[in-house]
Every structure is written in structure tokens, then in C-alpha cells.
Amino acid sequence: MAELNAEENELLVLKNKLIQQLNFIYKDVDQTIDYEELSDQLIKLMRLDENCYTPIAYQNHWSQKDVIMITYGDSLLKPDEKPLETLKHFLDNHIGDSINSVHILPFFPYSSDDGFSVIDYSSVNESLGGWDEIQSIAKDRRLMSDLVINHCSSRSAWFDNFIKGEGIGYDFFYTASPDDDLSDVVRPRTSDLLRETDTGKGTQHVWCTFSHDQVDFDFRNPEVLKSFVSIIRLYLDMGVKILRFDAVAFLWKKLNSSSINLPETHEVVRLLRTLLEHAVSDAVIITETNIPNTQNLTYFGNANEAHAIYNFSLPPLLINSLVTGNCLYLKRWLMSMPPSQNGTFYFNFIASHDGIGLRPAEGLLNDYELNSLVEAMQEFGGKVSWRTTETGEPKPYEINIALYDALQGTTKGRDSLGLQRFICAHAIMFGLEGIPGVYIHSLLGTQNDYEKVANTQQNRSINRHRWEYQELQSKLADSENHHAVVLSSLKGLLDIRIKQPAFHPNATQFTLHLGLQMFGFWRQSQDRKQSIFCISNITDHEMELAIHDLNLIMTDNWIELISGIELDMQQEMITLAPYQTVWISNVFHK
């Protein structure tokens, strides 16, 4: 028997791993599946039979230079220009080297939910541009794209075929009976779970986790898995390097269960990770799982599942700290968070196209704190979205508000320190272990869009403004305009951050104990040469920071990175203005 060469051996190892994963996923579903044949099909769909990398375990494909801007493809509009072209102009002319990656929210043809109800996964929404524009952006920046993997549009060709009972997609969707016991199902919506649909095979009831226009896939059918492997391959070919698995926690359904975070869901993520890392060595999976913190952490697996998870608990806890002037809950949470091992990272954000999720704060903020936070956000013009609990009771699920407006005051009411509070929130986030994601409307200090809410009747529209690019450029040209001040301030912080090794996503982090009105943590570079003490006054009044509380090595020269001022080691106190942040380091990488 001829010996296998290295490439053939790697494919054999890969195939055996896929067979094991497929067996775990489908063993209770269909005993007739030929796992060997299915693994061969997946390898071919991903073109691993042509080119197959050998992944290196626990390897970091990122550094402190990585920052991701989150945006819709049409957040910026210019007459007679494709929105994706306008977006590229903004990135080139206003962002530059401060941010090296961009997450363009679903840019495919869609029917609802601002893109998250995909009609066609293989094409770009022509109102935005085409694959040429996507690839043009991907040439200059690391591109992150959504893989809307749990559901698609009820107007898709696949669902049309389901209704007809023939063609590709006729068996792609999960159905149940109204007589089934679905009382344990966990979902973030109050609408009916099942959608009654007339089909060529009679009336069927389609599972809809989110809305009746978003029909859920049935991953018990291997053809669904194969279709998504083909989609992933297409996105990689088009320059996508980061895949965001949207709503993936709900992927596998099972009667008489919660149908969230099921073992089969985790194994599907691991299988797709296996295929992805053999296809493109530095491609990354981020799982979008807006669920309680302990459940969210499980999507790291053992550094063999998601490369990154959203730090969903950060937005409500950080905003709560800044509007109450008390960091108790934020500090407790940070102390409880395990360091991300090499090969994984936290994706930090405090604003996004969605609202401030409250489920990730459950168990971290008590009901009083949650209710106080909701009331404060409503006072600043925010809306509240609701979910139905397991007992059938309505409960706040999400606060919908632009972050700039969310931080325009405290629980005492509005004040004149909104800008400082807003910058402070980002300075904290930029310093934390992980990679920061910055929403375009945070970069621009965009405020609540009530007109869009009125037009769409959707609460989330409040933070999905579309800027006329000429108007925006006019505002950014005025150095005293708050939009220009915000962009300049945040870019200034990022320009410092991306040069400091101690801000590597996997650099050491320890929480500091400076009382409840001063929030601080310490970062140390992986080579242990640089230390940074990140300290923020989270109150609306001056605070004194005792230098001896930091245990600085007195033989080192310490510099405050944001101001560029060297510390006088003879002074005992540093005065921090309301919402001021300092980054105190023994090394300044310019």
C-alpha cells in the first residue's frame, strides 16, 4: 500500500474529524446518512481537495492594531453614487489608519429587519452596489460579514419552493404542530412562534424564532448544512475574513426543549470552524449570542468553536456605571470574566445596530438596577422592546437608544457632561481585553432618529440613521460641531491604542480596587515589557487618585498616554475631572 503524502494525510485527518462531528450532530436524526460521503461533499464544497491549510492550534490572528467599525451598507448616502462607494470614501478620507476592519451589516437582498431577513445569500443588494464594491473595501480593510444562519426571508426562492413542495429548499424549514408542547422554548420575541402556511402538501406550521417573515431553517436536513458551507466559501472568495454567525444560539430545534444552546448547535459551529480554518488560515468566526453571560461564554468551546464572542454584558453594565456613578456591578463582572486563551478573543462593543440588550445583564444587575436603567434611558428618549418569559410575563429585552443620547445625563437627569461621559465610555472599552467594535453612529455622535422610528414603526430604527454624506461632511468640517469633536476624540484614542502592545486582545488584564466611583484595570503586554493602568472617574465630580494605590515601580518613568504628560512621581495625588480617563504606562509607543 502506497504511503500517503503530507497533503493526503491532512485530508484524511480532516475527513475523520468531520465524520465524528457529523455523527454527533445527526446520530439521533437519521440513521441512513452516509457520514463518509457527506464529509467528502463538504470538503469539495469548501474546495479543500484543491487547497487545504493545516491550522495551528491556539494561534492569534489579531493584535492591538485591530479595531472594527460596524455599519450598514447605506448608513451614508450621496446622490448618484452607490452607498458602498460612499462608505469606502468615508473610510479612506475620515477614518484612515485608525480602524483597520469594517463590519458591513447584511448587504444582501432582504425583505425586513434591515437586512436580517435574507432573500438571496449569493448576491449583493443592488441598491448598495455589487460584489466589486465589497471586494474593493475588502482589499484595504479586514471585512466582517454576517452569516444569517438561523433563518431566511419568507420571500426567498427556498421558501417559495417549500410552499410549492418541490425544488431546492422544499425541505429546508423547521415545522411543528400547534398541538406540540412548546412551553419550554426560549426566544426574544412576543409574536407567535409558529406561522401557519398553506403549501402543496397541505397546511404546515413553520417555526419562526423572530418574526413571521423570518422562517427558521431545519438543520436536521444535511442539505441545509451543505448550502451554508457553499455560502461560506462564496464569502471567503469575495474577501470576507470575519464571519458573524447571526442568532446562532437558536439554530438547532428540538421539541420538549428550550431550543437554545443545544449540543447540536455547538457542534455545528465546531464543524464549520473545522472547515473554515482549513480553507483560510486567518479567517475568524464570531458568534452573535445575545444571551446570559455564562451561556455566552460556552461558545468559545475549548478554543475550537468561535474564535470570538460578543461581550454582550459590557453595554448595559458600562452604561449603568456611568449613569449611576457606581461601578460595583461592572467591576464584579470584570473580575469574574475568564481570560480569553490564545486563539480566542472577546469582541467588545457598547453600541450597535441593535439596542442595549438586557438579557446579558440578568444575574449581573438586580431587578431594581435594571428597572432604574430602563427608566433613565426612557428619560433620555429611548424605547423599550419586550420579550415573553417562560411564565408568559412580558419583560424588557432591549433598550433602543442612540448611545450619544443614552449618556446625556445620569439617574439624576440630564446635565452638561454628556460629551465627556460618552468619550469616557469609549476610553474604557478601548482599553479592555479584546478587540473593540465601534458603531459608525458612535463615531459620529449620531442622536436618536425619531423620524425613522415613526416611518418604520420599529424601535430599533432609533439608532439606524442614514446620513446625507454632504451634510455629514459639512458638520465634520466644523471643528466645534459635536459630531466632529466626537470623531476626532475617538480617533485620537484609537491612534494611541493601536500602538500599545499592552492593549493586545490577549494581553494580561487585572481589575483594580479603587473604590466604586473610580473604575480601573491593569494591562500588561505579552512580553511583559509594557504596563498600562487604565483608570476612569465615572462620576460627575472631580476625584483624587492616590498614586501609591497603583503600586507603580518607582524606578520607571511613567507617562499618561492620552495627554502625553510624564507623571511627577513625587506628587501624591492625581486629580481626575468628571469622566476623565487616564492610561498610565511605563512605555509610550508613538
| Residues designated as active site | 246
Cβ 562 vs Cβ 570: under 8 Å: no
- Tally of CA atoms within 13 A in the half-sphere of 530 that contains its CB: 21
Beta bridge partners of residue 535, listed in sequence order: 520, 582
- Tally of CA atoms within 13 A in the half-sphere of 251 that contains its CB: 27
Helix (H, G, I), strand (E, B) or coil at 170: coil
Q: For 464-499, what is the HEC assignment?
A: CCCEEHHHHHHHHCCCCCHHHHHHHHHHHHHHHHCC
Q: Hey, what amino acid is at 450?
A: Y
Grid cell 484612515 is found at: 96
Cβ 241 vs Cβ 139: under 8 Å: no
Among candidate residues 278, 255, 68, the one with its CA nearest the CA of residue 174: 255
Among candidate residues 416, 421, 386, 385, the one with its CA nearest the CA of residue 403: 421
Pairing of strands 101-104, 142-148: parallel
Q: For 507-560, what is the HEC assignment?
A: CEEEECCCCCCEEEEEEECCCCCCEEEEEEECCCCCEEEEHHHHCCCCCCCCEE
Beta bridge partners of residue 198, listed in sequence order: 203
CA dist 424 and 489 (Å) reads: 10
Greatest Cα-to-Cα distance within the chain, rounded to the nearest angstrom: 83
Helix (H, G, I), strand (E, B) or coil at 325: coil
CB atoms within 10 A of CB 166: 12
CA dist 501 and 97 (Å) reads: 17
List all residues 6 or more positions away from 322 whose beta carbon is below 8 Å from its beta carbon: 407, 410, 421, 424, 425, 538, 579
CA dist 375 and 458 (Å) reads: 20
In angstroms, how far is the first alpha carbon of the chain from the final one?
60
List all residues 6 or more positions away from 81 whose beta carbon is below 8 Å from its beta carbon: none
Among candidate residues 339, 321, 406, 329, the one with its CA nearest the CA of residue 362: 329
Beta bridge partners of residue 68, listed in sequence order: 101, 437
Cβ 66 vs Cβ 46: under 8 Å: no
Among candidate residues 67, 106, 81, the one with its CA nearest the CA of residue 443: 67
CB atoms within 10 A of CB 28: 10
CA dist 348 and 337 (Å) reads: 13
CA dist 434 and 93 (Å) reads: 27
CB atoms within 10 A of CB 17: 15
